[in-house]
Structure 1
Amino acid sequence: MYALISSSASIAASSIIEPGVVIGPQVVIGPFCFISAGVHIGEGTHIASHVVINGNTRIGRNNMIGMESSIGEVSQDLKYAGEAAGLEIGDDNRIDRHATIHRGTAQGGGFTRIGNRNIFDGGVHIGHDCQVGNDTFIGENSGLAGHVTLGDEARIDAMCAVHQFCIVGAGARLLQSTCVVQDVPPYVLAAGNRAVPQGIHEQAAAYLGSDVMQQKVIRHLYDLLYHQQAAVDGVKQEIERLSQEYPLLRHFNEFFTRSARGIIR
């Protein structure tokens, strides 16, 4: 078995590429990296020095991976018994130095998945079976425990922690040093240990780009949940009633369909 390496890839002489690796065109791999069998690296991806990429890991196009990161390491779940599992990373992501991103487990569907155009600052940890959407941001030294779902355009500031199996909805934001142990609905701004709602994340791109009526509807849902303390089942009915007219509410439908830990209050 040989590694399949594009002729236009650039690999430092001190790096080790095992047989069975696939490396696409214009990939750059810095010095003292180790890439194990089973790894696929897509076109234009740049990998800095001292990076380890292991296992059944597929990395898309035009990603940047910072120095001394560990990508595709085995799950930290104590139930993991060596079964087949993997990591999928999309395109145009920026993963800064000292990141740790783990493969999935059979109990979690087999794969950790990261979408496109995400930015992860230094020291970010993403645990096994996490599902990260597109256009998210995770600040320095923040971590997602196993099985966390992070919706599109969600923002997590520095030094935050998200408990296993939690959902952080699309367009939500966690302020610095927030600890999340229950689900955070879409477009909610949260802070504290433990996290409590602080209002609407009005700087979320989808919220800013929506019309005035959709913004009013989201504020109405926030009012029902957090000012009127309405029952979640009643809020779900209101979302179903309004979702056909207001497309942005699909994020709330998806969130409440999956939410199982209860929401922050």
Structure 2
Amino acid sequence: MQIHATAIVHPGAKLAEDVVVGPFCLVGEHVSIGKGTKLLSHVTVDGWTEIGERNELHPFSSIGGPPQHLGYKGEPTRVVIGDDNILREYVTVNRATVQGGGLTSVGNKNFLMAYVHVAHDCRLGNQLILANAASLAGHITIGDHAIIGGLTGVHQFVRIGAYAMVGGCCGVVQDVPPFTRAAGGYRSKLYGLNSIGLRRHGFSGERISVLKKAYDLLFRQGHRSAEAIKLARAEFNDQADVAQILTFMEATKRGISRSIGKDQGDEDESA
């Protein structure tokens, strides 16, 4: 274990033997940090926080601070961060509220760029990229392999599905289904499939073709959501990717982001 002379580590904290705690870091009493994790400098880890193995926390990141929620009364709610994550400068991850289930979680192999904010009760999956100053309000869920653009704000309780891509400088106020792209100003809209991203993740042309057909049926043919889901289940009843979208849609509480017209949405899907 390497703890710099200027760092303050509470005697009650649990650190693996090879954890590195750099200059001017602060580690609180109820913190647990797994092997190979590095706190580079000026990092604060507080609250009831568990950080896994081989993570990199860059200067001025703040993990496990109290939620920015007027109902919070000091309860021992938690932050759990998995393995192999990179949290760049000034990233904040707040602990949860009792009302939200008591847990804010970040999975494995995620890249949170500078100034990203993860609010109370968020649940982040694996292998995500959140670009600079992306801001998540409370109770947000993000599926695996999603990308969130810089300076984008996501409204509380919104869900973003696996393999989705959200552009920069936009507001996300409704759910973004798996495999899709969303962008555009205050109220982002769907712009077709995240086809380039899917190919990069090894999706075959056949899988992408099926998803495109399902997308057209669900979002571009003018059906009401319940009717579109019913039609898609009948047409694609043996397709696991489509089933994932339909299950996601059926569980929505804030509604699904609307899709723009076909010609606009397909502009760069063949790139």
Write the mapping of 1:70-219 to structure 2, written as runs, cut at 5 A: 70-193=62-185, 194-205=187-198, 208-219=201-212
Tell me the distance in 2 between the aligned counterparts of 1:158 and 1:91.
23
Tell me the distance in 1 between the aligned counterparts of 2:136 and 2:184.
16
Tell me the distance in 2 between the aligned counterparts of 1:207 and 1:246.
20
Q: Which 5+ residue runs of structure 2 have no aligned equivalent?
A: 259-271
Contact 1:133 1:152 in 2 (8 A): yes
Tell me the distance in 1 between the aligned counterparts of 2:109 and 2:134.
18
Distance 1:139 1:217, change over 3 A: same
4+ residue runs over 3 A deviation: 205-208, 238-244
Could you report, residue by residue, the CA deviation over 1:118-164 in whole angstroms, capped at 9, with x for unpaired residues? 10000000000000001110000110000011111110111100000
Q: Which residue of 1 aligns with 2:261?
A: none
Q: Could you tell me which amino acid in structure 1 is paired with residue 14 of structure 2?
A: V
Q: CA deviation at 1:250?
A: 4.6
Distance 1:170 1:243, change over 3 A: farther
% identical equivalent positions: 37
Match of 2:251 among 254, 258, 261: 258
Alpha-carbon RMSD across the aligned residues, in angstroms, is: 1.7
Tell me the distance in 2 between the aligned counterparts of 1:124 and 1:216.
34
Q: Which 5+ residue runs of structure 1 have no aligned equivalent?
A: 1-8
Q: How many residues align?
A: 257
The worse-fitting range, judged by mean Cα deviation, of 229-238 and 113-122 is 229-238
1:217 is paired with a residue whose SS is: helix
Contact 1:151 1:168 in 2 (8 A): yes
Q: Could you tell me which amino acid in structure 2 is paired with residue 237 of structure 1?
A: K
Tell me the distance in 1 between the aligned counterparts of 2:59 and 2:190.
35
Compute the TM-score of the two structures, normalised by the length of structure 1.
0.92
Contact 1:191 1:197 in 2 (8 A): yes
Q: CA deviation at 1:112?
A: 0.3
Tell me the distance in 1 between the aligned counterparts of 2:246 and 2:81.
26
